[in-house]
Amino acid sequence: MSRMGNKAIVLDKQVKLEISDREISVTGPKGTLSFAYPAGISFEQGDGVLHVRRAEADNRNLKMKHGMVRSLVNSMVVGVTQGFKRELELSGIGYRGQVAGQKLTLNLGYSLPVEYEVPANVKISMPDPIHITLEGIDKQAVGQVAAIIRGFRAPDAYHGKGVRYAGEKLTLKEGKKVGN
């Protein structure tokens, strides 16, 4: 029995759902998202809640997809009402960045700056040269862009320099010890 799949999705009054043949579309104040769900999954809507149901109770493959579909639809509902936000910070001497439109330029200690064109569905801003803020309605897109930017220079295990998520705790390794 899927515990996650059985939880009800609470719908805000501003959210409109359109369920057609194997596709669900969620519209809210921040935008519209759609998702093609697998066969054997159905939706029941009533009194401000949405329930995800599966056709066969003992089908193992369908059990796995049940919870996943519920989580994805819940993320869509949260995204179109509140949106998602991810913050990154640059730590290291001389590490800084700047944004021009949707183009991010980072100086990360390489001989040339790293340039990255951010997708249109993710809004990027930099309140100061070492903090990056990503916002959007699609949770997967915001997280993927954050992971790509972090991948340009992941935090070093010995010095802690690099691009890290805001609030990320690093356990630094101890360096080499001089012999007796």
Going residue by residue through the chain (180 aa), what tens digit of pLDDT does each one get? 458 888 999 998 999 999 998 999 999 999 999 999 999 999 999 888 999 999 888 888 898 899 999 999 999 999 999 999 999 999 999 999 999 999 999 999 999 999 999 999 999 999 999 999 999 999 999 999 999 999 999 999 999 899 999 999 989 998 888 766
Tell me if domain 3-81 and domain 84-165 are identical in fold.
yes
Long-range contacts, stretch 45-54, CB < 8 angstroms, 24+ apart = 45/11, 45/17, 45/19, 48/10, 48/11, 48/13, 49/8, 49/9, 49/10, 49/11, 50/8, 50/9, 50/11, 50/17, 50/77, 51/8, 51/9, 52/5, 52/9, 54/2, 54/5
- Answer CATH for 3-81 from 3.90.1260.10, 3.90.930.12, 3.40.50.300, 3.40.630.10: 3.90.930.12
Domain extent listing, the chain: 3-81, 84-165
In CATH, the architecture of 84-165 is Alpha-Beta Complex (3.90)
pLDDT at 2: 55
